[in-house]
Chains A and B, each alone.
Chain A
Amino acid sequence: MCVIKAENLTKWFNGFVAVDHISFSMNQGELFGLLGPNGAGKTTVINMLSTLLKPTSGYAEVAGFNISKNKDDVRGSIGIVFQELALDNRLTGRENLEFHAMMYGMGKEERRKRIKEVLELVELTDKTDVLVEKYSGGMKRRLEIARGLVHKPKVLFLDEPTLGLDAQTRRHIWDYIKKLNKGSEIAIILTTHYMEEADYLCDRVAIIDHGKIVALNTPNKLKDVLGGDVVSLEVERSIEDLMSHLKNLKWVKMIKKHNGFLNLTMEKGEKRIPELINIAQKIGIIVSSVNLRKPSLEDVFLHFTGKTIREQETSHNERSREKMRRRMMRR
């Protein structure tokens, strides 16, 4: 059964397009990831699907309800964990959950039972009556995940669920997400700019850049697109020469220049390395380092967008700084 269907979803903000004709669908029980750099439009997609933002154009259904026409029905069938914390610090953990459950119209007995369940799931049972302002960052996140689940939603939205958490806490959160996806029919859609996160958690990943989905598949199939291993050669000069020599080899599936490295994809990379170095030597080019790896989603991202996620984020930050500067000048 299809729980989210988006068709040409688009959002403009003051003359700039944040989300550009995005279409995808996801099924019940699926763990679906939107992977992309900051500013790619992931949060805007989530905000539109959760009825907080009106789409400029396009259409979407969540749990069978139209996000523009049946807002309250959509709201009743989803749970959401926002990128920024959205807890009331002056209330205890239990009070935050009680507030939530009552807003969703749950009865007293049902509330009590369900709150106990979700608190056990995220292992916060012994902290329920502590004010949230005393919680650590990881505990707040876990409480929010628990809250998103209290009213038994059909779809759970997680917007950058591990942003700003240390590596160990991140692992922990990943385990909770895996655990709750395994045992139930709940569909989870998460956004992230961490490659490992998308790779480790998601059944399918949509790579999103500049408001567009550039690729969508299972992590393994996305990596298969590159066709085998990635070999990176570092050469001091005449990188173009080497590139034109290697381009015509039959077993080199793809070749790309990036930041002084030559990235080649091929099968059985470890066997081909001596050959590569031989060719370079023959034309008088010295290879200063070689790196062989199985392709990661980072390589996939690089393949589809021509940049790594980090570079894309830097250039995005520069763009927004530039915009800010211009705005300041106008004042």
Chain B
Amino acid sequence: MIKVKSINSTAIYVLWLREMKRFVRAKSRVIGTLAMPLFFLAFLGLGFNNMSIPGMSKDIDYIRFLVPGIIGMTMLFTSMFAGISVLWDREFGFLKEIMVTPVNRVSIVLGRIAGGTTTALIQGLLILGISLLMGFKIIGISSLLLSIVFMLMIATTFIGLGLIFASKMKDIHGFSLIMNFVIFPLFFLSGALFPLGNLPFYIRYISYIDPLTYGVDGLRGTLIGVSSFSIIFNFIILVGFSLMMVLLGAYFFEKSESV
């Protein structure tokens, strides 16, 4: 289906470069997307820190439990936005400029994934850095590197999902629907804020088809050494999800008409 030799690395690079330039210049956007996870972290973390939460190990503070969840949340939001940003390009006409170039569609999708993944990773790492300043401790440098692997997989999964939505929508009016009916449920069902063991079993099963569940659990396993599933299990499931979403995203993007 995808011919390797048709992949255009210059095009991927320049699409990535454009994302980076826009990212650096849109400081208000960066602050805006960082504000919400930081508020969650500060208010939930401080507010619940002295409460014991059923189903959670006694020697883990709530804030330690929460930090990987909030990093997962940041990755979810920024990656979905990056995927859906195709819609903004369509709105401002720039998508047409991209689509009339002799660059094959697979490279265009890869360029967007490269750009989106980088911006999401930067924001995830910023949240991690701020948490470290607030006293969060990770179990080691190798765990940090492993957690970056998980962040990358979360990013590609949700950029792919964002691309699917962007290809199916004609304009940005449906965006708030996606925010409320896709992004927030994915977030709340992922176990980012509380252990999934507390949920009634029928909701727990829904959370098992949420890719972010494995992302957050994997981040917890790598950063604080506590997780519901093994790290390798989370890894395998997430590799499957990210491949599936990227292929589907590329497929729908290819099918969609750009005018």
Contact with A along B69-113 (1 / 0, CB 8 A): 000000000000000000000001110111111111000000000
Q: List 28 A-B contacts (CB under 8 A).
A: A50-B100, A52-B100, A53-B257, A75-B101, A75-B102, A76-B102, A80-B100, A82-B93, A82-B97, A86-B92, A86-B93, A86-B94, A86-B96, A86-B97, A87-B93, A87-B97, A88-B18, A88-B22, A88-B94, A89-B92, A95-B18, A100-B97, A100-B101, A102-B14, A103-B101, A103-B103, A105-B11, A147-B97
B143 within 8 A of A: no
Bound CA–CA A90/B98 (angstroms): 16
Residue contact A87 to B94, C-beta cutoff 8 Å: yes
Interface contact B257-A90, CB-CB below 8 Å:
no
- Please tell me if B26 contacts chain A, counting CB pairs below 8 Å: yes
User: A78-B100, A90-B21 in contact; A47/B259 too (CB < 8 A)?
Assistant: yes
Q: Which residues does chain B contribute within 8 Å of A47, judged by CB atoms?
A: 259
* Chain A residues near B103 (CB-CB < 8 A): 103
Q: Give Cα A91 to B22, complex, Å.
A: 7
Indicate if B8 sits at the interface (CB-CB under 8 A).
Answer: yes
Q: Give A174-230 interface residues, CB cut-off 8 Å to B.
A: none
For residue B21, which residues in chain A have a CB less than 8 angstroms away from its CB? 90-91, 95
Of A52, A72, A99, A147, the contact of B18 (CB 8 Å cutoff): A99
Cβ of A104 and Cβ of B18 under 8 Å apart? no
- Given A47-B259, A103-B14, do A84 and B93 touch, yes or no (CB 8 Å)? yes
In whole angstroms, how far apart are the Cα atoms of A75 and B98 in the complex? 11
A-B pair number, CB within 8 angstroms: 73
Q: Which residues of B contact A (CB under 8 A)?
A: 8, 10-11, 13-14, 17-18, 21-22, 25-26, 92-94, 96-104, 257-259
Q: Which of A90, A98, A100 contacts B26 (CB 8 A)?
A: A90
Q: What CA separation (Å) do A54 and B256 show in the bound complex?
A: 11
Interface size of A by CB at 8 A reads 30
The reply to whether B96 and A72 contact each other, CB–CB distance below 8 Å, is no
> In the complex the two chains form, what is the Cα distance from A85 to B13 in whole Å?
24
Q: A4: shortest Cβ distance to chain B, in Å?
A: 15
Contact between chains at A52 and B25 (CB < 8 Å): no
Contacts of B22 in A (CB 8 A): 88, 90-91
Sample of 20 further A-B pairs with CB below 8 A, known A82-B93, A103-B11: A50-B100, A52-B96, A52-B258, A53-B259, A72-B104, A75-B100, A75-B101, A78-B100, A86-B97, A88-B92, A88-B94, A89-B92, A91-B18, A99-B17, A100-B97, A102-B11, A103-B10, A103-B98, A105-B8, A147-B97
The reply on A129 being an interface residue by CB < 8 A is no
Task: Give the shortest distance, in Å, between A68 (CB) and chain B (any CB).
Answer: 14
Report which A residues bind B (CB closer than 8 A): 47, 50-54, 72-73, 75-76, 78, 80, 82, 84-91, 95, 98-100, 102-105, 147
Most A CB within 10 A of own CB, among B22, B26, B100 = B100
Nearest Cβ in chain B — how far from A226, in angstroms? Answer: 37
Bound-state Cα–Cα, A89 to B258, Å: 19
Indicate the member of A51, A53, A75, A103 with the most B CB atoms within 10 Å.
A103
For A52, list chain B residues within 8 Å (CB).
96, 99-100, 257-259
Are B102 and A72 interface neighbours, CB within 8 A? yes
| Across-interface contacts of B94 in A (CB, < 8 A) | 86-88
Considering the chains assembled together, what is the distance between the CA atoms of A5 and B176 in angstroms?
Answer: 45
State how many angstroms separate the Cβ of A314 from the closest Cβ of chain B: 25
Shortest CB-to-CB span from B234 to chain A, Å, is 37
Residue of A nearest to B13 (CB): A102
Assembled-state Cα–Cα distance A6/B5 (Å): 32
| Cβ 8 A contact of A85, one of B17, B93, B99 | B93
Instruction: Report the separation of the CA atoms of residues A72 and B10 in the bound assembly, to the nearest whole angstrom.
Output: 16
